[in-house]
Structure 1
Amino acid sequence: MENSTTHFHPSVMTLGFGEMTSIKYLYCALVIVWYLMIILCNNAVIAIVILHKMFQPMYIFISTLCFNSLFGSFAFYPSLFINLLQDVQTISYVGCIVQDFVINAYVGCEITILTVMGFDRYVSICNPLRYNTIMSPTTVYKLIATVWMYPLILITIHIILTIRLPLCDSVILKIYCDNWSVVRLSCVDTTVNNIYGIFIIVATLVTMPLLVFISYVEILRVCARSSKDFRSKALQTCAPHLISITNFLVDVLFEATLYRFTPTNLPYTLRVFMSVNVLVVPPILNPLIYGFKTHKIRRKMFKLFFQNIIPLKCLSTVSR
């Protein structure tokens, strides 16, 4: 008879903080500063879009991208900060599964949003006269719904397949819970999980970038037949999107390939860098590049700061 004690769902999972605890207060300071910057920058872009009623499709998609950054960061940074202050870095099994779901959903939504933004740029540059017809409010609402529902459905199935697995261990190699880290702790066959994981990779990290690539091929074809001024404006419009999607894909593929297959053979510092890069760089990079590269948002930001904040400070100084 098989020993039932080897198969269990642990109530607490131990996280792989390792060497980070030796200078944990420094990491705590860095985490809180970085998280506050993420909150400030992303909320600033969202607030500007809402307050100034910039409800054109591009700005709606930018706001959605910023909201997704806040969504993913909320599942990572508070937990990381709390664990750094503890003597033993643990997370409940339920908390681990929730964190797993949110972080994977964040990654799926991010690539889907960037794909939709690529389609928006394609329509804007290749079919400018039909832009308002194609990107109607109804179409935008449908695209926003797809941005959230498509990855959430995929990840929900992924999590259901994971929670059915009995585990033989409770030690996560990363400093947060992700799906593969939990699945690899199972002592039963995980072929179904592996096949579905490959399906998700194809459905998101292969299909979505391919659609973006097709969009940009068409954009380049139109630019090649257009004037120099048109090409300059088109490329300037596309630059923030290209920076965002290139950085995100490099982060995700870096982590998904190297860390998935050889986590224990890599130096600890490199393992941590690979695992958190996708949660560190995009949430702060996106609002910065769209805030400074998108002319209308940049102008509203400068107007808010120089005409509202600074004059108020000057008035308060004069009144003294």
Structure 2
Amino acid sequence: MENYTYNSFTLQLEGLNVSKDSVYPVFLFFFFSYIFIIVMNAGIALLVFTDKSLHQPMYLLFCNLPVNDILGNSIMVPRLLSDMLLLRSEPLISYYECVVQAFTTHMFGTAAHTVLMIMAFDRYVAICNPLRYAAIMTNRMVIKLTVSAWGVALVLVGILLGLTVRLNRCRTLITNPYCDNASLFKLSCESVFINNVYGLTFTVVLFTASIGSMVLTYTKITVVCLMSKNKSLNSKALKTCSTHLVVYLIMLISGYIVIILHRFPQYSDYRKLSAILFHIIPGSLNPIIYGVQSAEICKSLSRLFRSKPVMPLF
């Protein structure tokens, strides 16, 4: 029989189903992944902010991704590592901490979409309207785009969680290794119709705007490249756009896997693991794919370490 506890401020997380022999290998994998994410993303962001040669719209907008990856992983991964190290199969978490974790988790996913959208706009202006690029992509425009990306994410996620925290709770089990909105409103015995409607609308609007902007942007960029006989322009466009597209596809596929596995309760263990990897994989690959492959960033690194020039990976 299900245990009903009215508005309890202590919740129970459903941890990962890991055997005792696998706990430490899994722990070490998550631990070193987290260290790698923090070091790489913080290093790239610090490099861009300190090197004046990288104070260009493309790199300044890109810095939003490392910041988002650091924030998204820092709220979730250390808590997960703590529970695994203490061998808690069903760890406890306070309601307020759970709400903060859910808010940060959804901000991470939403901001990833909005940030990549403003980065796509920057690439569109640079390739399709190069003569006016400097006039359009001013410092003021970069600030406006950055504030818009985070502001839209904040409003959308704020409403999402606001609709959830208003509900009374009669359950205490979070069926996830960390808190998210769906797990929180499932604790309620009240009607969650509004939550489901807004959640579905939120997802459809975000994905439609995100995918639509990418398709429109890259269609126009492709048309310009096909019509242009400038091989140098086409090569540069292919390099920067393919990098941006790969980062976007990694984030999109990671998110879709989690959404799809939600529809198959029998694969709950895979869903939990994929939900964690949704944070770890993009956070680990973004600085490598988008940062280290850049010729300008590699030159900046070579100047920093005063060694031979570092060649781009791609």
Q: TM-score, normalised by structure 2?
A: 0.91
Residues 223-270 of structure 1, C-alpha deviations (whole Å, 9 max, x = no match): 1101243322211111210111011011112212332x33x21162x2
> SS in structure 2 opposite 1:116?
helix
**2:137 is the counterpart of 1:145:** no
Does the alignment pair 1:24 with 2:23?
A: yes
Q: Which residue of 2 aligns with 1:317?
A: none
Report deviation, 1:52: 0.7
Alpha-carbon spacing, 1:36–1:18, altered in 2? closer, same or farther (3 Å): closer
Work out whether residues 7 and 187 of structure 1, in 8 Å CA contact, stay in contact via their aligned partners in 2: no
Distance 2:179 2:276 in 1: 11
In the alignment, which of 201, 204, 208 is matched to residue 199 of structure 1? 201
In the alignment, the residues of structure 1 paired with residue 201 and residue 154 of structure 2 have an alpha-carbon distance, to the nearest angstrom, of 15
Where structure 2 has 5 or more consecutive residues not aligned to the other structure, the ranges are 309-314
The residue matched to 2:266 in structure 1 has which SS?
A: coil
Q: What is the aligned partner in structure 1 of residue 246 from structure 2?
A: 243
Higher helix share: 1
2:157 aligns with: 155
Q: Secondary structure at the match of 1:185?
A: coil
Mapped to 2, the partners of 1:18 and 1:78 lie a distance apart of 15
> 1:128-143 to 2 correspondence within 5 Å?
128-143=130-145
Q: Within 5 Å, give how 1:87-236 maps onto structure 2.
A: 87=88, 88-227=90-229, 228-236=231-239
SS in 2 for 1:167: coil
* CA–CA distance in structure 2, aligned partners of residues 73 and 89 of structure 1: 19
User: Which range is displaced more, 18-27 or 240-249?
Assistant: 18-27
For residue 235 of structure 2, give the secondary structure of its aligned residue in structure 1. Answer: helix
Q: Alignment partner of 1:106: what SS?
A: helix
Task: Quote the Cα distance in structure 2 between the aligned partners of 1:267 and 1:105.
Answer: 23
After superposition, give the CA deviation of every residue in 1:122-175 in whole Å (9 maximum; x if it has no partner): 000000000011111111111111111111111111111111112232112211
Match of 2:312 in 1: none
Aligned letter for 2:295?
A: H
> Cα RMSD (Å) of the superposition?
1.8
Tell me the SS of whatever aligns to 1:112.
helix
In structure 2, what is the equivalent of residue 51 of structure 1?
A: 50
CA distance in 2, matches of 1:223, 1:83: 51
Counterparts of 1:185 and 1:28, CA distance in 2: 28
Alpha-carbon distance in 2 for matches of 1:25, 1:292: 31
In structure 1, runs of 5+ residues without a counterpart are 309-320
237-246 vs 78-87, which moves further: 78-87
Alpha-carbon spacing, 1:100–1:297, altered in 2? closer, same or farther (3 Å): same
User: Take 1:265 and 1:27, find their aligned partners in 2: how far apart are those partners?
Assistant: 22
- 2:102–2:181 contact (8 Å) kept in structure 1: yes
Percent identical across equivalent pairs? 32
Which AA in structure 2 matches 1:126? Answer: C
1:66-105 equivalence runs, <5 A? 66-86=66-86, 87=88, 88-105=90-107
Q: Secondary structure at the match of 2:267?
A: coil
Aligned equivalents of 1:302, 1:12: Cα separation in 2 = 51
Query: Given that residues 83 and 90 in structure 1 are in contact (C-alpha distance below 8 angstroms), is that contact kept between their aligned partners in structure 2?
Result: no
C-alpha distance in 2, partners of 1:142/1:67?
Answer: 17
Deviation of 1:46 after TM superposition, in Å, equals: 0.8
For the pair 1:253 / 2:252, whether they are aligned, the reply is: no
3-state SS of paired residue (1:254): helix
Task: Give aligned pairs, total.
Answer: 301
Find the aligned partners of 1:168 and 1:101 in 2 and give their Cα distance.
Answer: 21
Of 31-40 and 215-224, more deviation after overlay is shown by 31-40
Q: Distance in 1 between matches of 2:233 and 2:42?
A: 32
